[in-house]
Amino acid sequence: MKTSRLSIVLAATLSLLTACSKGGDSTSGSAPAGGAIKGTVRFLGSDATAILTSAIADAFKATHPEVRTEIEESNSNLGVGSAKAGMTDIGISVRELTEEEQETLDAVKIGRDGLCIIVNKENPVTTISDEQFKGIQAGAITNWKDLGGPDAKIERVNHAEVLTSLQYLVRYYGITPGDIKYSESVGNSDKDIIKSVSSVKEAVSYASIGAALNAIEHGPPIKMLGFKGVDPTVENVAEGKVPITFDMLLVAKKTADGATKAFMEFAAKDHADINKKKHFAPVKR
C-alpha cells in the first residue's frame, strides 16, 4: 500500500518489458511505395479497453491482412508508460494523458465506459447506496444483514493501487486510497475482480460497466448495481447519467509510422457498431 512499493513494481515491470522487446520482430510496420501496410502492432494496457481494442483490431485486419496485432492486458499506467518509453506501440488507457505525456504521445478516443458496483448473482441485495458502498470500502459496514441481505460477512475485493478505477472511485467520494480498508483479496484487473466476485457469494467490488456486461454475456454469475441508483447501462453511460464515466483511449508516439500510424488513424474513425456489440458507449463527437 505504499507508493515506494508501487514505484518499484512498475519499474521492475517496465524493465522486464524492455528486455522482452529486444529481439522481437519489427513492430512499427512498413508501407512500401504502392504496397500494402505490413508489420506487427503491439498493444498494452487496460484490460477492459482491450476488449474493444481487440474488436477494432479485427476490423482493421480485415482490410490490412498483412498486419499482425498482439494485445497484452495490464493497466492504464503501464500501457501509457510503455508507449512513452517505446516498449509497446500503442498503449491502452482509461485515463487522460498528463501535459508532459502529451508532448510526445497522441491519444485517440475509441469509446466511453463507466463504473458500477458488482455482487455475486446469488446475493439478494438489489441496491447499495453511495454511502453504504463508501462504508463497505472503509470497513465500517461488514455484514450483508446491514444492507437487507443475509447474516454473512461482506467479502471486499479491492482494486490494486495501480488501477485507474481506484483513482476514479476515491475522487468520486472525495477520499484517498488510504481511507480504504484493504482485504486479502486484491484484483489487478477488471477480469480478476469479476472472477473473484463471481466465485464468492458474499463478495462485492466495482468494475467497468463494459467489462461486466461482456462477462455476463459469457456466463460469470455477477449482478451489476449502479452508483446513485442509476442503472449501469451503455445507454446511461452515453447520456452522461452514470456518475463515474471516462474515455477509453489508445495512445502512441507522435512519431509513429507504418502499421501503428495506420491503426491509430483507423481507430479514430466512427466504430459505433463495434462499440454497441462490445457493450461500450460511443465516443462523444
Contact 150, 165 (CB under 8 A): no
Residues 121 and 214 in one domain: yes
Does the residue 285 lie in any domain? no
Which residues of the chain form beta strands (DSSP E)? 39-46, 67-74, 90-93, 105-120, 155-156, 158-159, 186-187, 203-208, 222-225, 245-253
Does the residue 283 lie in any domain? no
Does the residue 282 lie in any domain? no
Does the residue 284 lie in any domain? no
Examine the pLDDT at 166 and tell me if it is beyond 80: yes
How far, in Å, CA of 145 to CA of 125, rounded? 9
Residues 143 and 57 in one domain: no
Residues 169 and 106 in one domain: no
DSSP states along 175-189: --GGGSPP-S-EESS
Output the pLDDT for position 184. Answer: 86
Q: Between β-strands 39-46 and 67-74, what pairing exists: parallel, antiparallel or unpaired?
A: parallel
Which pLDDT band, with edges at 50, 70 and 90, does 27 fall under? very low
Across the chain, what does the average pLDDT equal?
A: 90
Q: Is the model more confident about 12 or about 57?
A: 57
Examine the pLDDT at 32 and tell me if it is beyond 80: no
Q: How many percent of the chain have pLDDT more than 90?
A: 85
Positive or negative: CA dihedral 106, 110, 111, 113: negative
Domains: count for the chain: 2
**Please, which residues have CB within 8 angstroms of residue 35's CB and are 6 or more apart in sequence?**
none
Output the pLDDT for position 285. Answer: 75
Output the pLDDT for position 219. Answer: 83
Q: 56-70, pLDDT tens digit by residue?
A: 999 999 999 999 999
Residues 269 and 221 in one domain: no
CATH number of the domain at 259, please: 3.40.190.10
Residues 121 and 108 in one domain: no
Q: Which of 134, 114, 79 is nearest to 211 (CA)?
A: 114
Q: What is the mean pLDDT of residues 80-108?
A: 97
Examine the pLDDT at 22 and tell me if it is beyond 50: no
Does the residue 243 lie in any domain? no
Contact 252, 141 (CB under 8 A): no
DSSP states along 97-137: PPHHHHTTEEEEEEEEEEEEEEEETT-------HHHHHHHH
Examine the pLDDT at 156 and tell me if it is beyond 50: yes
Q: 113-152, pLDDT tens digit by residue?
A: 999 999 999 999 999 999 999 999 999 999 999 999 999 9
Residues 75 and 162 in one domain: no
The parent domain of residue 103 ranges over: 3-112+248-277
Output the pLDDT for position 35. Answer: 57
Output the pLDDT for position 220. Answer: 83
How far, in Å, CA of 141 to CA of 68, rounded? 49
Does the residue 213 lie in any domain? yes
Which pLDDT band, with edges at 50, 70 and 90, does 6 fall under? very low
Positive or negative: CA dihedral 89, 95, 96, 97: negative
Output the pLDDT for position 183. Answer: 87
Where helices occur in 226-257 by DSSP H, the ranges are 234-238
Q: Is the model more confident about 85 or about 219?
A: 85
Residues 99 and 142 in one domain: no
Q: What is the mean pLDDT of residues 16-45?
A: 60
How far, in Å, CA of 238 to CA of 224, rounded? 17
Residues 204 and 258 in one domain: no
Residues 102 and 121 in one domain: no
Residues 118 and 225 in one domain: yes
